[in-house]
């Protein structure tokens, strides 16, 4: 039976939903899964593709729902550089957060659409190392 992914509050592109479902290992039979997308060359000095973490929650035997999507980036300078949440779409808490503000998820829907388009392009370019783990 095919896995499906949906979101109750985000305008999830069906193509992205299908791609994410394919990243869930068949051997991972837990109620929550975290997918990590990493560009091993990403650094504060050279840039690169932001790390992304997507949490999925199992609703029924093959239907998953997005709990949150977090895009990270480096902030600060020199010795004070750290990895921080750049964008966070938290469906479970109904919260949208960027580097500067926190608001209701609905305020971030246009940003989500833009982020999603870019993320799908990066997946097609195969820039990420992808891992899945239990939450």
Domains of the chain, each with CATH number or no CATH: 4-134 (3.10.450.430)
Mean pLDDT over 87-106 rounds to 96
Instruction: Look at residues 67, 32, 70 and name the one whose alpha carbon lies nearest to residue 51.
Output: 70
Give residue 29's pLDDT band: very low, low, confident or very high (50, 70, 90). Answer: low
Is the pLDDT score of 28 beyond 80?
no
Mean pLDDT over 43-61 rounds to 94
Give residue 1's pLDDT band: very low, low, confident or very high (50, 70, 90). Answer: low
- Secondary-structure breakdown of the chain: helix, strand, coil percentages, each rounded to the nearest 5: 25, 40, 35
CA distance 9 to 113: 12
Mean pLDDT over 94-108 rounds to 96
Task: Give CA torsion, residues 51, 52, 55, 60, to 10 deg.
Answer: -130
The predicted structure's pLDDT at residue 135:
74
């Amino acid at each position: 039976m095919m896995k499906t992914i949906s979101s109750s509050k985000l305008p999830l592109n069906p193509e992205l939903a299908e791609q994410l479902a394919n990243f869930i290992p068949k051997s991972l039979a837990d109620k929550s899964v975290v997918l990590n997308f990493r560009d091993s060359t990403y650094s504060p000095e050279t840039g690169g593709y932001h790390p992304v973490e997507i949490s999925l929650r199992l609703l029924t035997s093959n239907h998953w729902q997005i709990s949150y999507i977090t895009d990270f980036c480096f902030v600060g300078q020199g010795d004070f550089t750290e990895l921080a949440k750049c964008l966070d779409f938290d469906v479970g808490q109904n919260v949208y957060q960027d580097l500067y503000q926190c608001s209701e998820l609905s305020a971030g829907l246009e940003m989500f659409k833009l982020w999603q388009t870019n993320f799908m392009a990066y997946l097609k370019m195969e820039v990420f190392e992808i891992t899945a783990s239990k939450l």
